[in-house]
Structure 1
Amino acid sequence: MSDPLVVLRTALAGNHKVEIVSGPSGEVVDFATGQGLRALLPDGEVFLPFEQATRFESETVEGGVLDVKTAWFAWVHKNAGITDYISAAEEQGIGHLRFLERTDLISWLDGSSAESEFIKGDAVAASGAAISEAAGATQATAVPAPSGRVEKRPMSEDMKAIYEKEKQLANHNTVLHGSKKINFSGVSAQSHREIIHPFKSSSKRPAAEARTAGATQAALQPGKNQDPIILLSPSPSSMINMANVKEFLENGVFDPVLRQAGSPNLLRISRKSPVLGNLRFIVVDSTEKFKPEYWNRVVAVFATGQAWQFNSYKWSDPNTLFHHVLGFALVYKGDQMPQQLKEWNVKVETLDRVHRFRDRELVERIWDRLEANMIARGWPVKR
């Protein structure tokens, strides 16, 4: 089972654990810092380096052959739309597959398809043997047929002559049928998920989007509502996103989840400050609906080291931005810090990968620094 695609198919189809690790004997890490995959199979662990080539051929990736990293990225984003998947791949700097290629790969890896037109060599044949071997470890051995069964009689010479002269009748339908059976279940599932389901729910979506847009616009309107604003990065690699920021800033617990497609585009976070009293912050990851006066209410920006985050900001230059607004960034303890964060005026906080009880202390440091900055900018102090 040396072929990396066979290892992945055996693990995924058999519901065995696959981890991103820092090396053959390394610890579990995230995708950005990982060096390969570790598949925990019944007969032992198998390490697959990210740069290892597979037998999957694609015209859209460098060299024309898929590597383990690109294959795993496609699998992880199997439920994402093709546009979101391509954008995420380009942001990570790795190749992406076309729609049919990705559908073919995912269907083959999860075991719903027995063949792949893009996998060359003996990987397909080897996968069948590997999966059968893995299944044999948990399934009972088939009982042989009784030895007393009637053996099939050999065909007579007369019957052979008749069959040799037999002609198959065909019409315009049967001649179009190929001799090779192809399983389109993967394409069918993908089409239902990305085409049929969105079409059926499209009639409900405009009203929901209108309500969401109206709520966002109303929350950002100046006047009586002067809630301070916190901006997040929309990058998929951002550790703090719309899916986990509320739990992090309100309860002091970091949940390492990626940004999800169904995440809200606006959140309200409550904070009981001993200095500023009861506050309510508005958190967004987009400035699309911003008016010029909203920037006076922006009190903090969470950055990832990617300058494109600020392209739509009032101050698109990071040095100018963090001269006006307080900047924060989060990195895992022991990870290399992006060089850009060292050059910008950003407070970098380190998160422990395992010990979640330290999150509360880190969050309080963020709040202390943020509230001190707000007081310096003229926010009223609690009397």
Structure 2
Amino acid sequence: MASTNGLAPDPLALLRQSIARGALPTASADQDPSIATETTQSLARASYLIFNEDGQHIAIPLTQETRFISPAAGKKGLDLRSVYLCWLNKETSVGEYLAAVSALNEELKGLGKQETVANFVFGEKIDLTAWLAGDVGEEDSEFIRSLDANKASRAETRDAAAIARGDGDVEMRDAGALDDAKAEQERLKVIYASERTMGDRNVALRGAKPQDFSDVRKKYSALFFSKSRHSGQNATGAPGTGLPNANPALRPPVKSTPAGRRPEPIILLSPSASSLLRMPNIKSFLEEGQYAPPEGGSASNILHLTRVLPSITSKPIRFILVDDPSTFRPDYWERLVAVFTTGQTWQFKQYKWTQPAELFSHALGVYVGWKGETIPDSVKGWGRGVMVAQIDKGGQRWRDREVVEEVWRGIEGSMKATGWGKEGKR
């Protein structure tokens, strides 16, 4: 439900419901969707998203804060315009998405608006688009605060304000009787009266006398950023992409995984055109056990699939499949469990581990070729760190299932050997 207990409609829940019905909301410059001249295709000119729920139009301001809490944005809720732009670019490449963010911000500035659109980093974009598409449960997002948490937060804020004013109508949720509630309320008044007012982080760091650190920022900004531009390499020693914030070492730290949530293992594919398994056909191969040529299918650069690995956990494990690691944060490499390769070493130039021997000591290498064809010498030379699987070149597609199960057994064995358990990697 988008609205509960008389609260205002929740924009994220409304958007998720609209996507499930296949009817995206309409951008409008006015709250009244009947004014045809006010509907627009431009998110910069628009001020509202109009949702059609049970025959009623619900107008939500594009500047409204959502329940998506971004560590990169100071752990505050991102606005609806940023969320909607991210969804519209769910299948675009990283460069195209960043260009769309930049173009929308320029358009907003040109219209004299003070709002700006936030850029969702790699992990946040995966989490948001999967949640909106319904690929994960309502309460299973790493970054989206639950509706119950939102209601509790608003209630606590109202109670704190009421106590500060000395009001006597604060709801005591944990009290079992009226006398207990009054006693608890009096105790809270004493606690709040004894609190010391703390300064913000600037006061704590700088003290009473302001200090100017601009010379330090200037010195080290020139040192690190100029090196990055001139060498064209990121922190891992791999060629840079030229995209803003493409260096994983310069990104804000990733939010730690909440208790009870298992980190999602990552599988990297080869971007080579000669690879038999690429983004358009890898999911059907690993999930359905049937090979199809990679010409058709999804053009997305991020895919998800689930698989039960009995020796690790009885619960389904959700895997992330990508073919471009240029936007990886350092901790993502710890979640890498398999690398599909064609035997071409240029594939590893942007990896954390560029040498095959080191790479395949951290993750299983998987070479998939045609049955009866010669295995590349490079693959043979990489030893037991790379498993070889061969699929039938003819029309006997029923044999594909055997190959797929062989690949999953290899991944499962490698994950178990490298410390993966039911709670994740130890």
The TM-score by the shorter chain falls in which range?
0.3 to 0.5
- The structure whose Rg is larger is 1
After TM superposition, the score normalised by the length of structure 2 is: 0.39
TM-score (norm 1): 0.43
